[in-house]
Structure 1
Amino acid sequence: MGPGFLLRAILLQIGRMYRLFAALPVDPDIAPGLKALQTGLAGASWRPERNFHITLRFFGDLGHSQARDLDDLLGEIRAPELEIRLEGVGWFGRREPSAVWARVRETDELRALAGQCERAARRLGLPADRRNFTPHVTLAYLHGTTPEEVTAWAEPRHAYCSDAFWVNSFHLYSSHMGDGPSRYVAEADYVLGG
């Protein structure tokens, strides 16, 4: 674990492209509360518990060499352990909602970690992320759901609040498409607070 040490398939298959992102894991004890939010919304494709995470930076499709370089850059990051709490819900897409999510309480430490992941992407030569960092856990992707339906779904869930949990590492995940929801594999782990 650490710089230059991807744990699984990335180093095994030269010539392949990998869809990669850095993210924090979600404590399994929080999952039942998130699952309870996943109901009552037309057009929602609910995410399975195994896919719950907090994205720090999406890197996109990278080749073998770039993935190794990214691993080295992420391994240089120094950041404290993070206390995470989920509060409320929200969605992306004002006119055409595309996803609903549980909001992560933003802290200076969380924003700084995401900023370090962004700097790693820039050092790798990737374009700047044009979206503002919005820490969240995706609950569902939406298909044909109206803004009115999302608003009605969100109102009774606005007061959702999880217990706090501590995160002592973040991961570089690969995303694999197939039938059903994408499958995410933690390819490398980076310790926080060390």
Structure 2
Amino acid sequence: MRKNHYFIAVPIPIEISEHLAWLQAELKELLPFRSWVHKQDYHITLAFLGEASSVQLEQVKQAMEQIAKSHCSFMLTLDKISTFGNRLAPRILWQGVKEEPKLRKLREDVYHACIDIGFSLDQRPFAPHITIARKWQGETEFALEKIRTMTAGKVENASFLASHIVLYQTHLERVPKYEPLLICPLSQ
């Protein structure tokens, strides 16, 4: 039996999700990735928790409510497409988000609250992104610069208001696979 996994993220508003889905449909025709993220599952992860007890989930919910009250909504702007993993056969294809100190501070507060609750979190530097595809399966090498040239200006510089943080539960057998358990609005 699979265990439930949880994460905290900034959701992507529907108008930006629709725009990313349009770009994704174009890319699907050209790029052989094993799986493509459903448009309702687009998000910017702040903390991947993995498994959690009911006590930990209650503590996370309380922490999220306090953190959300202490942060104001802010604008985010999409940047270039990029990858994680081997640059010639990437593990993840993602849409970048331009540097925003308010996002970085929100992530820092969420991250430290989750560490204090007892979660063991990823210690790699925060790289805000929206995953759009996973696991390159091409017979030829992936060419990031070619993809960047092809997609330049299609979604880059699109902006949206980050106004919530969400606790999600993952359901690997469903599409979309992420279920919101708690939505905390940021202060206006």
**TM-score between the two structures when normalised by the length of structure 2:** 0.85
Correspondence for 1:57? 47
CA deviations 1:139-169 (Å, max 9, x no partner) are: 1112434783242333322444143111221
Correspondence for 2:103? 110
Query: In structure 2, which of residues 58, 83, 86 is the aligned counterpart of residue 68 of structure 1?
Result: 58
Structure-2 change in CA distance of 1:135 and 1:90 (3 Å): same
Query: In structure 2, which of residues 172, 182, 188 is the aligned counterpart of residue 188 of structure 1?
Result: 182
- Distance in 2 separating the partners of 1:28 and 1:87: 18
Q: Which residue identity does 2:4 align to in structure 1? A: Y
Correspondence for 1:3? none
RMSD: 2.2
Residue 31 of structure 1: CA displacement?
Answer: 2.2
- Distance in 1 separating the partners of 2:140 and 2:157: 25
Q: Which residue identity does 2:126 align to in structure 1? A: F
Give unpaired runs (5+ residues) of structure 1: 1-15
Q: Which residue identity does 2:118 align to in structure 1? A: G
Correspondence for 1:29? 15
Correspondence for 2:85? 93
Q: How many residues end up aligned between the 2 structures?
A: 178
Partner of 1:62, secondary structure, is coil
Query: In structure 2, which of residues 31, 35, 48 is the aligned counterpart of residue 41 of structure 1?
Result: 31
Q: Which residue identity does 2:181 align to in structure 1? A: E
Query: In structure 2, which of residues 147, 151, 155 is the aligned counterpart of residue 153 of structure 1?
Result: 147
Give unpaired runs (5+ residues) of structure 2: none
Residue 17 of structure 1: CA displacement?
Answer: 5.0
Structure-2 change in CA distance of 1:99 and 1:27 (3 Å): same
Query: In structure 1, which of residues 117, 130, 133 is the aligned counterpart of residue 126 of structure 2?
Result: 133
Residue 110 of structure 1: CA displacement?
Answer: 0.3
CA deviations 1:39-92 (Å, max 9, x no partner) are: 111234211111111111111111211111111122221211021111111010
Q: Which residue identity does 1:136 align to in structure 2? A: H
